[in-house]
Structure 1
Amino acid sequence: MASTSSGPAASKQVTPGSGGIPVLLKAALPSIPVINSLPGVKKASPKGFTGLGYSRPPVTAERAHVEAYAQVCGFPSKDTVPLTYPHMLAFPLHMAIMTDAAFPAPAIGTVHLENAITAHRAIGVGEQLGVTARVGPAQPHPKGTTYVFSTEVRDTEGAVVWESESTYLRRGRGDDDAPSGSVFPPVTPNGIVWKLPADLGRRYAAVSGDHNPIHLYPLTAKALGFPRQIAHGMWSKARVVAALENRLPDAVRVEVAFKKPIVLPGSVELGTETTDDGFAFALSSPRSGAPHLVGATHAL
């Protein structure tokens, strides 16, 4: 069932396949002049876009995939999935939305600004889950327009066990009066430095399905304006959550804002501070102190 309404019943269904080059082409073609005006490639106008949703058939949190993800992101092996893992089940839906002709913004060049995850309980390895994602109309931003992708993960009884909001920016003519995003308390680095290898983006892509060229090789990243490949934003969030996970409750909200890209290979320094209901945290450059990621956790 297809629709551009943002209501819960208005969604398309997708069965995630092999991804790879076909998906990358669908993501890239709308960014190429002339080609982006062809039928089947041309994007809809933001003015007429009211929303779009996708769902997938029930999916199982398979142990082999959970453990591969946990290893890349620094989580221990457990009988419950890492807090950030359900994003792996939702990512194919985000890509399906972004590569749908009805969605106004090309996937390539759209920047992940913020992510907020709310876990209502721990999810067991082997659980069968229903996953839906939807996005609403464009919202004004000082640097362009943003789109908020909302994801729900339900158990076999229909209860929401995990949800998230991912905010993506499409740069362009902005609105100086629009909100620029979430604000988090400053955090002092605590001396924990992680050295990140050059192949980190490729390793994370292998488990996440996010093969955006900016994360893979120096040549592919330079073609899109970066000096070298950069780490995935959701990897950086997962790595911080992994460092905190034994101190977080099962029911928790974790919000982050992505700042400066992490160039690979490279190093980042962790900072954490306790708050009334959780932690404030940051990843920053050990040399300059410039933030790569800032955020906070809140017990529910």
Structure 2
Amino acid sequence: MTVDPNPPGDPMDTRTFVAPPALAPVLLGGALLSPFKRPRPGGDADVPRTRLVLGGVRIDLARLAAYERVCGFATGADALPVTYPHVLGFPLAMRLMAARTFPLPLLGLVHTSVEITRHRGLAATGEYELAVHVAELTPHRRGTEAVVVTEMSAGDRVVWESRSTYLARHRTTEAPRPERDTQAREPARAITPSRPREPAPAIAPSPPQEPSPAITTSPPHEPAPAIATWRLGKDVGRRYAVVSGDRNPIHLHPLTARLFGFPRAIAHGMWTVARCLAEHPADGPVHVRAEFKAPVLLPSTVTYAAKGPAFELRGGQRLHLTGEVRSLPGEVG
């Protein structure tokens, strides 16, 4: 339910909710609208000028404890894990991306990266306001990227914010951008995807040559030292769906995952981030950046690795996730 809304001078169409949107009808509506959304090859769609707000947010402590157990965080402290506000804002974000004004189809959106900034520690017993809007739409060599911003405020201060990047694949005139090649591999998905592509065949190398001084190459990825090995059960997606509300069929069962081209169910991308951060904790103000590289099939065995602020999740030689977490100066409590 929404109430009416725009403060004078606000450039955005602000819509205030008195309760979180129900996800099932939102996702169904977004799925039904998806075939009618056809992004232009140039990726020059208009950014929706809509801001969704939910006030008076109180944390369900039982649900929080269940989330902490599923993701590996310690339970019982009066503090929110750094990833938990993403779960709180997820219904608003889905409502925004399922709307007619959002130019990209909900079906097929790929969650490629997330950045989180926590400006201070967040009490689990606090009261908060959530706000979500689309910050930008930019052309990508594989389609169009949307940056969705979620903010959580206490009083008149933003205490936590995130920027999630979603890629809609479609025909495009955009030239390849080498700096985005890290996202060209099949990433973990938050939203029902298109069929994954097979990896390109190996090509026999040419004889060694001296590199041209006018051309620079990126250094090869150096794996971080392994810290732990996790055996992930086939129910990880279902368990996370219960505590997060993200019941995408690709995460729930092999049969539903096969409908979208996966041999087995895959883990939620935000679960992989949370599980890594449970091993890489930071108190108080912190900045987290993570990029999703390849889906984690369930069941499977993965390796968590870390060095300094950097962390990653690997399955054999396959890189699933890279990221870093850095402490920031600021208020701790």
TM-score grouping bracket, smaller chain normalisation:
0.7 to 0.9
1:75 matched to 2:73? The reply is: yes
Look up the match of 1:190. Answer: 226
Aligned length: 279
Q: 1:160, CA displacement in angstroms? A: 0.9
Q: What SS does the corresponding residue of 1:102 show, helix, strand or coil? A: coil
Look up the match of 2:310. Answer: 280
Look up the match of 2:256. Answer: 220
| Cα distance in structure 1, aligned partners of 2:89 and 2:95 | 10
Q: 1:187, CA displacement in angstroms? A: 3.3
Structure 1: runs of 5+ lacking an equivalent = none
Look up the match of 1:268. Answer: 302
| Cα distance in structure 1, aligned partners of 2:156 and 2:20 | 21
Task: Tell me which of 293, 298, 322 is aligned to 1:294.
Answer: 322
The alignment's TM-score, normalised by the length of structure 1, stands at 0.86
Q: 1:119, CA displacement in angstroms? A: 0.5
Look up the match of 1:91. Answer: 90
Task: Tell me which of 14, 19, 24 is aligned to 2:23.
Answer: 19
Q: 1:186, CA displacement in angstroms? A: 3.8
Q: What SS does the corresponding residue of 1:23 show, helix, strand or coil? A: helix
Structure 2: runs of 5+ lacking an equivalent = 184-218, 329-333
1:258 matched to 2:292? The reply is: yes
Q: 1:282, CA displacement in angstroms? A: 0.5
| Cα distance in structure 2, aligned partners of 1:259 and 1:2 | 40
Point out the more displaced range, 75-84 or 45-54.
45-54
Q: 1:60, CA displacement in angstroms? A: 0.8
Contact in 1 for aligned 2:227/2:306 (Cα 8 Å): no
Q: 1:76, CA displacement in angstroms? A: 0.3
Contact in 2 for aligned 1:44/1:103 (Cα 8 Å): no
Q: Taking every aligned residue pair, what percent have the same amino acid on both sides?
A: 39
Counterpart amino acid of 1:228? R
CA distance change for structure 1 residues 181 and 58 in 2, over 3 Å: closer, same or farther?
farther
CA distance change for structure 1 residues 8 and 107 in 2, over 3 Å: closer, same or farther?
same
Q: 1:16, CA displacement in angstroms? A: 1.7
Contact in 2 for aligned 1:283/1:292 (Cα 8 Å): yes
Q: 1:24, CA displacement in angstroms? A: 3.1
1:209 matched to 2:262? The reply is: no
Runs of 4+ in structure 1 deviating by more than 6 angstroms, as ranges, are 43-46, 181-185
Q: 1:112, CA displacement in angstroms? A: 0.2
Point out the more displaced range, 42-51 or 89-98.
42-51
- For the aligned residues, what is the CA RMSD? 2.3
Q: 1:236, CA displacement in angstroms? A: 0.3
Bigger Rg over Cα: 2
